[in-house]
């Protein structure tokens, strides 16, 4: 039968990492913390992606906060998706209370209240740096995937992008793309078909409807200028700590397609921009996607495949991606298989379906002789979790019931005044929070259509004028007209007894 000594030895062997690592908590056995059973977070394998899961109120958001603090202290910048609006406290020092003091004493850890360097970002009207990208930067492939287009429709989108590139029609926002769609369906149809091939009215209509649907979820605020530069996310503060970028997306719950649009573009941009570095001592950047089910709730199979591909490849760029969600089944199996770093907080079983979910969740972890994983998943306390990481060889560490350390930053949100002060000091707010109204496809095509209409009008007027001059100004025609008029006049006057000549003869 496994003993405490066996357990302690297994923990020491399994969590004895060669690279940099930071204590995140202590192992527990039979409901109690085992002294010296230190559980460390290995920085080297943080680019192998991870999962932070657990029911509401079990502490997963604070775990995310703790890991972000560890990464920032190690000069690793991070990006947090703040869906619920409860991560801003990382920008202020924590407050020691009895619960924190008791936990740190059990874990044999000091408590150093610390404020971390943060930037607030926004996709909408929230306070912070506005994130945008142009339609051209998004590209035909990603745009087609997020719109859920078939091969024929995707081919037309690629054709439109090529047409705009060749004719220098910048696609900056969605109205630009809609204008081009309308143009190639009407005035420009012959021009496009002559240069690039047939254009299906049914396809352009379908694409237009899907773009309008994307607009209805608020996508207009995301597309435009100035576009955000990835390098501004990957910054080290003056004191050597990594910047903690907090993207405030509290309004994304009702806009899953917009959230998917942003995340897909961000992952693609990270992959395209960052150089290949392989496995280093620590990652270059770590992204935490809270409420990850929003990313997949309306994703097509093609979109899921694209996300899976990027997740597989982006780790070689030194980027780690962590998905945070209530239920691990929210993550598609193909992507869940890529997540080597797992922190599983307690799950709740209220229905038969919940019990099935817990059984499946238990099967995602390495086997252990120390716990009945399925049972303990429903019994863990707040701030406790099952943990398994990857060592430098990519081998999973032993599954451990862990008491996790509390954050050293504030475990509450910042006030509006505090947020305003941080935003006011940001150099990036001045750089990105301005509107740029560059000439784009919308204006160029409008001018082109108006010029063509004016030219047509002038040609029509010119033809009409030429026709009237050549007929009525002819001398013969004028003479015939005058003669006919005289005959008609004379006939009328004669009928009235006023004929001129006959009357002259009578008078004289």
Strands (E), 48-162: 50-53, 78-82, 118-122, 129-130
The answer to whether position 247 is within a domain reads: yes
C-alpha–C-alpha distance, residues 204 and 157, integer Å: 9
| pLDDT tens digits, 86-132 | 899 999 999 999 999 999 999 999 999 999 999 999 887 788 998 88
Secondary structure E strands in 216-301? 244-248, 285-289
Residue 65: inside a domain: yes
Is residue 129 one of the residues assigned to a domain? no
Residues 303 and 393 in one domain: yes
Q: Is residue 127 included in any domain, yes or no? A: no
Contact 326, 357 (CB under 8 A): no
- Residue whose tokens read 């690793």: 76
Write down the mean pLDDT value for the chain.
85
* 31 phi-psi bin (left φ>0, alpha ψ -120 to 50, beta other): left
Please state, for a pLDDT cut of 90, what percent of the chain lies above it.
Answer: 48
Q: What range does the domain containing 44 cover?
A: 4-82+230-405
* One domain for residues 67 and 170: no
Q: Say whether both 243 and 306 belong to one domain.
A: yes
Question: How high is the pLDDT of residue 1?
Answer: 58
Phi and psi at 434, nearest 5°, equal -145, 150
Which CA distances in Å does 457 have to 189, 191, 461? Answer: 21, 21, 6
Which candidate, 422, 370, 324, places its Cα nearest to that of 65? 324
Q: In the listed set 222, 247, 263, which residue is the last one of a domain according to the structure?
A: 222
Q: What is the pLDDT of residues 141-198, one digit of tens each?
A: 888 888 888 889 999 999 999 999 998 999 999 999 999 999 888 888 888 888 888 8
Residue 436: its pLDDT value, please?
79
Domain CATH code at residue 297: 3.40.50.300
Angle between helices 174-185 and 135-147 (to 10 degrees): 70
Q: Specify the 3-state DSSP secondary structure of 409.
A: strand
Kindly state whether residues 179 and 59 are assigned to the same domain: no
Task: Give SS3 for 20.
Answer: coil
- Whether residue 288 sits in one domain with residue 161: no
The last residue of one of the domains, among 364, 390, 405, is 405
Q: How confident is the model at residue 477 (pLDDT cuts 50, 70, 90)?
A: very low
252 and 326 both lie in a single domain: yes
Tens-place pLDDT, residues 371-411: 999 999 999 999 999 999 999 999 999 999 999 999 999 99
Instruction: Say how far residue 107 (Cα) sits from the centre of its chain.
Output: 38
Q: Which helix (H) or strand (E) holds 402?
A: strand 400-404
258 contacts 123 by C-beta, under 8 angstroms? yes
If one counts every other C-beta atom within 10 angstroms of the C-beta of residue 134, the result is: 19
Q: Is residue 466 part of a domain?
A: no
- Highest mean pLDDT pick, 101-105, 303-307, 366-370, 469-473: 101-105
Q: How many domains does the chain have?
A: 2
- Residue where a domain stops, chosen among 387, 405, 423: 405
> pLDDT by residue (tens digit) across 325-337?
988 888 888 889 8
Q: Would you call 458 helix, strand, or coil by DSSP? A: helix
Same structural domain, 215 and 271: no
Task: Please indicate, yes or no, whether residues 185 and 274 belong to a single structural domain of this protein.
Answer: no
Q: How far is CA 250 from the centre of its chain?
A: 14
Q: Which residues of 66-91 are buried (b: 16+ CB within 10 A; e: fewer)?
A: bbbbbbbebebbbbbbbbeeebbbbb
Distance (Å, rounded) from C-alpha 357 to C-alpha 334?
Answer: 17
Q: Is the pTM of this model over 0.85?
A: no
Does the residue 152 lie in any domain? yes
**Residue 506 counted as domain residue:** no
Q: Are residues 156 and 179 in the same domain?
A: yes
For 306, other C-beta atoms within 10 Å of its C-beta total: 19
Same domain, yes or no, for 254 and 330? yes
In this structure, the answer to whether residues 315 and 361 fall within a common structural domain is: yes
Same domain, 333 and 365: yes
> Would residue 193 count as lying in a domain?
yes
């Amino acid at each position: 039968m496994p003993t405490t000594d066996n357990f302690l030895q297994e923990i020491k062997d399994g969590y004895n990492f060669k690279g940099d690592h930071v204590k995140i908590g202590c192992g527990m056995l039979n409901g109690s913390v085992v002294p010296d059973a230190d559980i460390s977070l290995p920085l080297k394998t943080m680019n192998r992606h991870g999962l932070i899961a657990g029911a509401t109120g079990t502490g997963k958001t604070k775990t995310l906060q703790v890991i972000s603090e560890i990464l920032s202290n190690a000069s690793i910048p991070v990006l947090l998706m703040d869906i619920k609006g409860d991560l801003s406290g990382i920008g202020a020092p924590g407050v020691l209370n009895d619960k924190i003091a008791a936990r740190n004493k059990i874990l044999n850890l000091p408590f150093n209240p610390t404020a971390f360097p943060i930037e607030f970002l926004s996709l909408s009207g929230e306070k912070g740096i506005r994130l945008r990208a142009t339609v051209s930067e998004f590209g035909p492939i990603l745009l087609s995937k997020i719109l859920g287009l078939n091969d024929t429709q995707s081919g037309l989108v690629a054709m439109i992008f090529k047409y705009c590139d060749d004719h220098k029609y910048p696609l900056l926002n969605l109205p630009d793309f809609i204008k081009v769609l309308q143009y190639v369906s009407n005035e420009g149809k012959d021009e496009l078909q002559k240069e690039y091939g047939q254009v299906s009215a049914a396809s352009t209509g379908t694409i237009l409807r899907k773009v309008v649907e994307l607009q209805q979820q608020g996508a207009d605020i995301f597309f435009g200028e100035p576009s955000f530069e990835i390098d501004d996310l990957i910054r080290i503060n003056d004191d050597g700590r990594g910047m903690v970028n907090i993207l405030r997306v509290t309004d994304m719950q009702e806009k899953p397609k917009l959230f998917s649009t942003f995340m897909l573009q961000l992952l693609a941009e990270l992959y395209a921009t960052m150089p290949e570095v392989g496995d280093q001592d620590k990652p270059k950047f770590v992204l935490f996607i809270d409420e990850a089910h929003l990313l997949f709730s309306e994703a097509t199979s093609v979109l899921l495949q694209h996300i899976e591909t990027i997740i597989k490849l982006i780790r070689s760029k030194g980027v780690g991606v962590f998905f945070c969600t209530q239920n691990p089944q929210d993550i598609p199996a193909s992507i869940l298989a890529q997540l080597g770093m797992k922190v599983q907080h307690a799950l709740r079983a209220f229905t038969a379906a919940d019990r099935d979910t817990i059984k499946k969740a238990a099967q995602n972890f390495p086997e252990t002789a120390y716990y009945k994983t399925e049972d303990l998943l429903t019994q863990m306390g707040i701030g406790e979790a099952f943990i398994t990481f990857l060592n430098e060889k990519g081998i999973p560490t032993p599954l451990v019931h862990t008491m996790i350390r509390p954050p050293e930053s504030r475990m509450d949100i910042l006030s509006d005044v505090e947020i305003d002060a941080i935003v006011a000091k940001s150099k990036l707010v001045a750089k990105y929070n301005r509107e740029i109204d560059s000439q784009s496809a919308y204006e160029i095509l409008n001018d082109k259509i108006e010029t063509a209409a004016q030219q047509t009008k002038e040609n029509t007027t010119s033809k009409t004028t030429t026709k009237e001059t050549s007929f009525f100004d002819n001398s013969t025609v004028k003479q015939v007209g005058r003669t006919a008029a005289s005959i008609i006049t004379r006939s009328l006057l004669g009928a009235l007894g006023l004929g001129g000549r006959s009357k002259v003869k009578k008078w004289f």
